[in-house]
Amino acid sequence: MVKFLKPNKAVILLQGRYAGRKAVIVRAFDDGTRDRPYGHCLVAGINKYPSKVIRKDSSKKTAKKSRVKAFVKLVNFQHLMPTRYTLDVDLKDVVAVESLQSRDKKVTAAKETKKRLEERFKSGKNRWFFTKLRF
C-alpha cells in the first residue's frame, strides 16, 4: 500500500540491452503519458561497471579502473525489479525527458550522469550499487 517506485529508488533492469544492470529512478510516470499509456519511469543506470581496484594499482590505473559508463532510458515498470536500496544522487537537473529526444542531448545527459556516478563511487558510499550483479 506504499508506493515504492519513487525517485532515488535503485532498481535492476530485466529486459532489453541493459538487462541485469542497476539503475536509479530519476522520475516516475505512474499513469503514463500520451505516447506511453503505461506506467514507466526515467532511469539513469550503469552500462559498464567500475572494475575492482587493488592496493597495488598506481593512481593512473586506479583512475582508469574507476570509470563508469552510464545510460539514460525510459523503462516500463514491468521491466524493472525494484530493490530495497536507494541512491541519493541529484540527477533531476541533468536528466529529463527532453534529453532523450535527440542523440547529442542524450550523450550530454549520459556524460553528466557518468561524472556524478563516478564521484559517488569514489566516495565509497552505495557500494552495492556499483557492484556487478552476478547471474
Partner 1 sequence: MVAAKKTKKTHESINNRLALVMKSGKYTLGYKTVLKSLRNSKGKLVIIANNCPPLRKSEIEYYAMLAKVGVHHYNGNNVDLGTACGKYYRVCCLSIVDPGDSDIIKSMPGEH
Contact residues toward partner 1 (CB under 8 A) are 1-5, 30, 39, 77-78, 81-82, 84
Pick between residue 43 and residue 94 the one whose CB is nearest to partner 1: 43
Cβ atoms of 113 and 46 within 8 Å: the answer is no
Q: In degrees rounded to 5, what are phi and psi of residue 82?
A: -75, 155
> SS3 of 27, please?
strand
- Shortest gap between Cβ of 135 and partner 1 (angstroms)? 12
- Shortest gap between Cβ of 76 and partner 1 (angstroms)? 11
Pick between residue 63 and residue 81 the one whose CB is nearest to partner 1: 81
- Shortest gap between Cβ of 5 and partner 1 (angstroms)? 6
Pick between residue 84 and residue 127 the one whose CB is nearest to partner 1: 84
Nearest to 5 by CA among 58, 43, 49, 57: 43
Q: Rounded distance, CA 99 to CA 76, Å?
A: 18
